[in-house]
Every structure is written in structure tokens, then in C-alpha cells.
Amino acid sequence: MKKQITITINGEQHAVEVEPRTLLVHLIREQLSMTGTHIGCDTSSCGACTILLDGKSIKSCTVLAIQADGKSVQTVEGLAAPGEMHPIQEGFKECHGLQCGFCTPGMMMRAVELLEHNPNPTEEEIRWGISGNLCRCTGYNNIVRAIQYAGAKMQGKETPSTEPTFV
Amino acid sequence: MIPAPFDYAAPATLDEAISLLEQHGDEAKILAGGHSLIPMMKLRFASPEFLIDINNIPGLSYIREEDGYLKIGALTRESDLEHSDIVRNKFPIFTDATKLIADPQVRNMGTVGGNIAHGDAANDHPAVMLALRAEVVATGPGGQRSIPIDEFFYGFYMTALQPSEILTEIRIPIPSASTGNAYHKLERKVGDYATAGVAVQLTLDGSGTCQEIGIGLTNVNPTPLRATRSEDVLRGQKITDELIAQAAKFASEDCSPSSDLRGDEAYKRSMVGVLVKRMIHKALERAR
């Protein structure tokens, strides 16, 4: 039995019908055709489906669409206007924070909330902060630097070196 | 993976939620954070016919000191507990535990009440609540009742909650000043259940004698386990390395872990002993 819900995604209100069992990530990707949010493990382990629900990062494969009724969602598509880049996107670009790119939208959405609470995170704080996001390319060093770059950029500070590190 | 079909309601009051529970009985499940329930439904390990979403009910999420208790509303998110000042100052055991519960995104959804009501010995709060001698408040058609944590866990996924009751609050007695508590779990990776976990709270008197102690064990028994013999060794005594070693030995003997991918039985018993020692030392440092 379908139910009517209203959900604001990236500032735009959508009135949609969903089955109660529809997962939030399926509503976003399949019904609303926003495929920037990825499905990785489908078991709330990998973080590829991370979005912001009322400003908090959550794994949209483990939340029902109907739970987002009346709430506000932000996905990677809502980070910046077309042709522009959010500082976190710029950080990932400048610091080689992505290789295959599959984990990237989830990593960035998680990083947005992390930086909101802690604008100057240490490397250790970032590694704990993204501990719910897996990068199968294992590109974590540059992801950490990308997030530090974004943190500096968002505060109008000088951004750190964008040279890749090799350990 | 998609759950089997179910019907859904998100009542705005506790009374409505309880009357829905009365109406649907065993067919209904409460949806709080959903991070235990929804994965089980996706895997079709659980197929409830009706979900009662309690997230729209106001007044179930709080952390406050009142009447000699730390009171935690059942719908309090793990991330709220993790970042609470009251908790950080007086109950560092929750800071220890919450940062090891799943990962940041899951902690943004997962609730303290759900972690306990799920009745899973692999969850972390049950052992912590055993160490802190908490009480669980259940609200049903007849009103509220308080259940001592030692009488709450019946078996695998089985608790003292009646079919028409909702866990609404956890009450933790605020201990005297010379009290320390600590929790650690051994996990293979972030987000894994504990290979073994140990929670300890102890209170010292002016002479350094252990007045009261609570020790809870995670995921090494069919139900969350109180290490009673270990507590008895230390209560009323000046804590020495010999007594700590004895307490650790008793805990490793008295638990009943099963061999699985996280380790065999002997390894887990050994880790329980190691963690009991470490957590007693850490709680002692914090008490002094």
C-alpha cells in the first residue's frame, strides 16, 4: 500500500508515493533519478550511500524513504550549482582524493558534516570521522588531505599543499 | 535488498504508539533508529507486518540529571550521547563505548534505547548498563514500570518488555565522587560486533577500599553477562594486582563465548581476562 510523502531534496520539494518498504536510497536514485548517491554494500558498512538528512550524515540504504517524510535531504548533487564546486569537491579534485570515484559522493557528504562540527580536524580525527566510509582503492591518504584542504578553504585560510603523499 | 512488505504508522504520541502495539501485538515492531531492525528486515530475518515509527513522538530524546539519576531518553541518538558534556565529565564510560559503536553515520541514527531493547548480547550498552546498575523504564497501557537491568535480558533477542510496552528511558544511579568507569571492546574493524567487550564501574571509599563494583561483559554469552564472582572478589577489598588477576580469571571462566570468525572460545575467554584487567585499572585511574 503506497503512501504519499513530502521530501525536500537539495532545496526542492518533492511529493512522491512510496511503499513503506522503499529504502531512501532507492527513492533518490530510482524514483527521482539522482544517481550521484551510490549503493555499495547495501548493508550499512561502506558509506557509499551517505547523504545528509536534516543536516546529519546517514546511510540511506538503511533508512526508509517514509522516515524522511517532511524532512530535508542533501545529496552530492546539492553541494554546488552546476559548473561550480563546493570546497570539499575542490579538495578532492586538487588533492587527488579520488581514484575510481565510487566512494567519493559518500566520502564528501560525510566530510561536510565532519567539517561543520570540527573545521580544523587533525588527521586522526578525520580518519575516525570517515571510519564509516570504505575506499576500495585504499586512497585514504589523499582523502584525508582533501578534507583538510576543504576545511582550510571553507574558513578562508591558506590551503595546504596539494602534492600527493606516498607512504 | 528490500524488506518484505509491511504497513507503517508514525504516531505523534506515546499513547497512540502503545494502542497500536496493543492492536497489532506480535505482528508489530517499534522503529527507532532502525539500524538493527532494517538490516534484519532487508535480509528477511525479520518480517514484521507493521512498523510503529516512534521518531515523531516528542520528548523521548534527552540526557539529564534528575533525582539522583542520569536519565537518558530512549530515542537519544548514540551521537548525542557521544558529544554530551554531562556524559563526558561524569560517565566517560559512555564516551569509551559510543565511539566504538558502529560508525559516525550509524551513530547519527542508532538510539540508546534501541541498542538495549533489541536484546542482543553483542550490543555494547547492555554490558555498560550492567556495570552501571541501570534501570530500564518501560511504558505500556498501564503506565510506567522500572525494570532493574539484571532482570531485563531473558535470552537471544528476548527481554522483559511485554508486547505492548515501549522502552522509554534508562536511569543510571549517579555514583559518589570517587567513582571510575571504563569500557572497551576488542573489534576486528570499525562497525564489527565485539570479539569481547568489558565494562567496569567501581567506587572507592576514603581509605581506597572498593565499596561497590559492577562488571558487564559483551558478546561472550547468550545474554549480556554480569561477572558476579569477579565483582565479589573485589567488593570490600583494597584492590591489588593479585585480586585483579583473580577477578579476570573468574570472568574468563564464567562467560560462555562461542567460537566463530572472530575467534575460538579459548581466545575469547583469554581476551575477556585481559580486558577485565585493563578496564579495572582504567576505572581505578579515573576514580582517583
Strand, coil or helix: what is B53?
A: strand
Q: Do the Cβ atoms of B127 and B218 come closer than 8 Å? A: yes
Q: Which domains are present in chain A?
A: 3-78 (3.10.20.30), 87-154 (1.10.150.120)
Question: How confident is the model over B203-219, as pLDDT tens digits?
Answer: 999 999 999 999 999 99
Question: How confident is the model over B181-206, as pLDDT tens digits?
Answer: 999 999 999 999 999 999 999 999 99
- The CA distance from B137 to B26, in Å, is 20
Strand, coil or helix: what is A104?
A: helix
Cα maximum dimension of chain A? 54
| Nearby residues of B251 by Cβ (< 8 Å), 6 or more positions away | B198, B215, B217, B227, B229, B230, B272, B273, B276
Question: Does the distance separating the beta carbons of A58 and B109 come in below 8 Å?
Answer: yes
pLDDT of residue B89: 84
- The CA distance from B33 to B37, in Å, is 8
Q: In angstroms, how far is the first alpha carbon of chain B from the final one?
A: 51
Cα–Cα distances (Å) from A66 to A5, A19, A54, B3, B171, in that order, read: 7, 8, 14, 13, 31
- Asked whether the predicted pLDDT for residue B100 surpasses 70, the reply is yes
Q: Which residues pair with B196 in a beta bridge?
A: B186
Question: How confident is the model over A23-67, as pLDDT tens digits?
Answer: 999 999 999 999 999 999 999 999 999 999 999 999 999 999 999
- Fold match flag (B63-173 vs B179-287): no
Closest chain A residue to the Cα of B56, Cα to Cα: A67
- The CA distance from B24 to A13, in Å, is 34
pLDDT of residue B241: 97
Q: Do the Cβ atoms of A162 and A97 come closer than 8 Å? A: no
| Strand B7-9 versus strand B143-148 pairing type | unpaired
- Asked whether the predicted pLDDT for residue A1 surpasses 90, the reply is no
- Chain B residues with CB under 8 Å of A43 CB are 1, 39, 42
Q: Exposed, middle or buried: residue B206 (CB in 10 Å: 0-12, 13-18, 19+)?
A: exposed
- Chain B residues with CB under 8 Å of A58 CB are 105, 108-109
- Span A103-127, average pLDDT: 97
Cell of B217: 561483559
Please state the φ and ψ torsions of residue B137, each to the nearest 5 degrees.
-100, 125
pLDDT of residue A161: 81
| Strand B196-204 versus strand B143-148 pairing type | unpaired
- The CA distance from B79 to A3, in Å, is 30
- Checking ipTM against 0.90, whether it exceeds it is yes
pLDDT of residue A167: 58
∠ Cα B35 B91 B223 (to 5°)? 50
Closest CA to B218 of B122, B154, B131, B282: B122
- The CA distance from A80 to B48, in Å, is 40
- Span B37-56, average pLDDT: 97
pLDDT higher at A162 or B85: B85
In chain B, which residue ranges form alpha helices assigned H by DSSP? 14-24, 37-42, 78-82, 85-90, 92-98, 104-109, 112-117, 125-132, 228-234, 241-254, 265-287
Q: What is the CATH number of domain B7-53?
A: 3.30.43.10
pLDDT of residue B268: 98
| Percent of chain B whose pLDDT exceeds 90 | 96
> How close, in Å, is residue B131 to chain A by CA atoms?
26
- Span B46-64, average pLDDT: 98
Per the listing, cell 591558506 goes with A158
In one-letter notation, the amino acid at residue B272 is: V
- Asked whether the predicted pLDDT for residue A166 surpasses 70, the reply is no
Q: What is the CATH number of domain B63-173?
A: 3.30.465.10
- Span B79-93, average pLDDT: 92
Domain layout of chain B by residue ranges: 7-53, 63-173, 179-287
Which residue in A3, A26, A131 is closest to B104 by CB distance?
Answer: A131
- Span B77-104, average pLDDT: 94
Residues of A with CB under 8 A from a CB of B: 1, 3, 19-23, 26, 42-45, 47, 50, 56-59, 62-64, 66-67, 69, 110, 113-114, 128-129, 131-133
pLDDT of residue A131: 98
Level-2 CATH architecture, domain B179-287: 2-Layer Sandwich (3.30)
Cα–Cα distances (Å) from B170 to A66, B3, B76, B223, B224, in that order, read: 28, 30, 10, 19, 16
How big is chain B, counted in residues? 288
